[in-house]
Amino acid sequence: MIIHGDCLDEMKKMEDNSISAIVTDPPYGLSFMGKGWDHAVPGIEYWREAFRITKPGGFLIAMGGTRTVHRLCSAIEDADYEIRDCIMWIYGSGFPKSHNNYGLAGYGTALKPAFEPAILAMKPCDGTFKQNAEKWGQAGINIDACRIPTDQNLVRPFIPREDNEVFGKGLGAGIQSNPKGRWPANVIFDEEAAKMLDEQSGNLKSGKMKEGQNRSSKPLFGSPNDHIHETIGDSGGASRFFYCAKTSSRERNEGLEGMPFLEGGIKNDSGRGFSESNPHKSIQYKNNHPTVKPLKLMRYLITLIMPPKDGILLDPFAGSGSTIIAAHQLGVKAIGIEKQAEYVEIANKRLEYYKDYKDDKEPDLFDQAPTSKTA
């Protein structure tokens, strides 16, 4: 569902504690391409309403720009959310919007944009995490569903530790890894950035160490020798430790047949709205929203913070609808709100297109899901 309206007004119509999680890409406050809606980062009043309607223990992911993310983070925290982390989405196709010279040869005015931050915040639990889960049906993030797949054997021997040992306290004493995959990190790459990273790192093999020992082979915290086991080394490019979100050049315009091409581009802090092959040449899209995010990236973020069942996702700054489409692909109930009529039309057309296509199985977070009726 995409609602046409101001999200501040629309959220006021919603009941307290009715939303399970929020994933959104609000304005960055850069006045990108002269757009009036991008004149400021949404202030505390927006996040107070989001806080009110979110269930205790519910998470919020809000993407931002590197120059203004401090204002976004402050507004969210001042609305009583707990800031839990900051996810870094690293991409390899950014171009600097930089002026040069000004009488100083070799000098410019901007760096090459290569990442966007995403604030991860939580409405405080009603009691402990366990008590909150029992009362509200949600608490914490979905680690296992977002583990990074690997062919390597990650199972390590059981290491007995006493409850009062410092090394074991709160760090998952016992089995220190999981056969389902690597623990998700707060860094995400796009396909191009991951490829560049692997080209630089080459095929690396992690060395084996003694579990319970440091590199100088001295026992940690007095661990007895009969509790020492070898860790399991593995090999591959450096990107194997992180989630890598594939992008599709066609998904941006799918469902928009018959609509005109318009000026547009993908926004970042330097105002990237240009051809990747020629940063001085403007490009056109039918979906001209400047912050269209990959559907696979949005599916991953949604999966990370949604409760196991009966949850409702909200995107108060829905733009061209990528979050809502990703939620539909995952079978998650979702509500989107968008103020600009032109983007509401684009979002609804895109959503209807994807609703018409039904796959035989749920999309895999780690393989590109079908994105068209002919896929």
pTM score, two decimals?
0.76
Report the pLDDT value the prediction gives residue 205, as an integer from 0 to 100: 60
CA distance 355 to 270: 35
pLDDT digits (tens, 9 = 90+) for 28-82: 887 554 555 556 899 999 999 999 999 999 999 999 999 999 999 999 999 999 9
* Topology (CATH level 3) of domain 2-144+244-257+292-356: Rossmann fold (3.40.50)
CA distance 48 to 52: 6
CA distance 111 to 93: 13
Q: What is the DSSP string of 106-145?
A: T-BS-PPP-EEEEEEEEPPPSSSHHHHHHHHS--S--TGG
- In the structure encoding, which two tokens stand for residue 236, read together? 């591959």
Report the pLDDT value the prediction gives residue 95, as an integer from 0 to 100: 64
312-315/333-338 β-pairing = parallel
CA distance 190 to 113: 14
Per-10-residue mean pLDDT, the chain, length 375: 94 98 91 58 96 98 94 97 95 70 79 91 97 96 90 57 42 50 88 77 59 47 46 63 73 64 47 39 55 86 94 94 92 95 87 68 56 34
Q: What is the DSSP string of 178-197?
A: -TT-BPPPSEEEEHHHHHHH
Q: What is the CA radius of gyration of the chain?
A: 23
Report the pLDDT value the prediction gives residue 262, as an integer from 0 to 100: 62
Report the pLDDT value the prediction gives residue 280, as an integer from 0 to 100: 41
Sign of CA dihedral 168, 171, 172, 176: negative
Q: Where are the domains of the chain?
A: 2-144+244-257+292-356, 149-182+209-232
